Structure 1
């Protein structure tokens, strides 16, 4: 019965979030068991284009490091904000969500050539957090009981946290920059005078994925809009991107 319950909970997670976070966990397990090594996973354009190790285009987004605080921190944030985006802003629009993944991944791979970041998973997480935060500007959050702030400041709070821990902030800056580019092209520019939607989801993705939407899926109450467990919701939170009263 316990196994059935876990299985049911697993398949209640929306599909993109479910398989992305599962792939991240499995990648870490494989490295922990020494079946693969981080040297086989990191982003290296030379090995990709000269030796055709094309799997590195994906594996660089799946590895958050060995089991420990950094892995757990990134995995929780990835799962939380990826899920909230998918089940609120992209519910029934799996293809559009995948298009966001592809757009962000391509920009990060191009930028990674110049900034020499070996693993792009953390930057991808920050991108998801940034987009969610900009689309939920009225959500109030609390950082470990230290201070309160509005959701749009969350990516910058995380950047400051990385700085305090002595980590490089280049990854956070990359995630924020690409998250802002996506948010501007998808939510801001199309609503400007003379604007139009720049990012259009290919029909093949809509054909493959949007016809397979889990119609009976209902978000868990604790997973509805509201930030991480350190935060609290604000009533009448707008749920749709590009709301007219949303700050630009």
Structure 2
């Protein structure tokens, strides 16, 4: 009897590539940009000083790339790995639920958040906005899944609506002080949520924010994200919880450990 054939060898590069391609398109872009720009700056190819936000250099030297790169510059550390995990987890969840099969709308949300963060960041004299963008994403997610239970550090459980504030409080309790960048992200996320949902529903008005046609041209609405799996989204019922009898949306399970 001939010997069994050897097991196929795993190609790590191919597996990583397949994993990335399975991500929804906008989340993939954010994830890859964060890793690429952070690595380029930390291994010495380009100084971070050429990537952070400096308004005079943007205006007078036309270094317009800073308007983009300032959102993806990080320091290599354990906190950076946590940042990547949060970005992967909550951006992916938001894009495949609330923005299911609407990549143009999600890209517009990201662009709107970045533009607003730039304005507030300039006011508070910030030069790096990665945490602000992450908190804007998490805040909007927390509003639409506000009744979901999440488990934070040391197993503390609370409703998802408190998650952004818990992240700010954790920094303060660990001795880092008040993280202005995260507060800016929360304010921007709330501003978007107010314009997108609260104001139109409370006043019976049409939505203020409309996705420009140029976003739809490059990211048509019939394009499915990543692995092609879309979800029909119904915002969780606030009385019955995210998995209550009146909720017809995607089931997210009993909670999410951070």
Which TM-score tier does this pair reach, normalised by the shorter chain? 0.7 to 0.9
Aligned-residue offset at 1:217: 1.2
Match of 2:160 in 1: 151
TM score, norm. by length of structure 2: 0.82
Cα distance in 1, alignment partners of residues 145 and 129 from structure 2 = 25
Aligned-residue offset at 1:193: 2.8
1:217 to 219, 228, 246: 228
Are residues 1:176 and 2:176 paired?
no
Aligned-residue offset at 1:211: 5.4
Q: Secondary structure at the match of 2:96?
A: helix
Q: Is the 8 A contact 1:123 1:172 kept in 2?
A: yes
Number of residue pairs matched?
A: 229
Q: Secondary structure at the match of 1:206?
A: helix
1:82-115 Cα shifts (integer Å, max 9, x gaps): 1111111112111111110111111111112210
Match of 2:44 in 1: 34
Are residues 1:137 and 2:146 paired?
yes
CA RMSD in angstroms, aligned pairs only:
2.3
The within-5 A match list for 1:29-108 is 29-65=39-75, 67-108=76-117
Q: Is the 8 A contact 2:121 2:184 kept in 1?
A: no
Q: Secondary structure at the match of 1:192?
A: helix
Cα distance in 2, alignment partners of residues 211 and 149 from structure 1 = 35
Cα distance in 2, alignment partners of residues 179 and 238 from structure 1 = 25
Structure with the higher helix share, 1 or 2: 1
1:20 to 30, 50, 54: 30
Q: 1:192 to 1:40 in 2, by over 3 A?
A: same
1:150-192 Cα shifts (integer Å, max 9, x gaps): 0000000000011123334211111111100000111111112
Q: Is the 8 A contact 1:189 1:196 kept in 2?
A: no
Aligned-residue offset at 1:145: 3.4
Q: Is the 8 A contact 1:43 1:57 kept in 2?
A: yes
Cα distance in 1, alignment partners of residues 198 and 62 from structure 2 = 38
What residue ranges of structure 1 are gaps of 5+ in the alignment? 226-232, 241-248
Cα distance in 1, alignment partners of residues 223 and 96 from structure 2 = 11
Q: Is the 8 A contact 1:104 1:179 kept in 2?
A: yes
Q: Is the 8 A contact 2:52 2:69 kept in 1?
A: yes
Q: Secondary structure at the match of 1:141?
A: strand
1:193 to 158, 178, 203: 203
Match of 1:235 in 2: 243
1:112 to 106, 121, 124: 121
* Larger Rg computed on CA atoms: 2
Q: Secondary structure at the match of 2:154?
A: coil
Worse overlay, 210-219 or 178-187 = 210-219
Cα distance in 1, alignment partners of residues 224 and 55 from structure 2 = 37
Q: Secondary structure at the match of 2:158?
A: strand
TM score, norm. by length of structure 1: 0.85
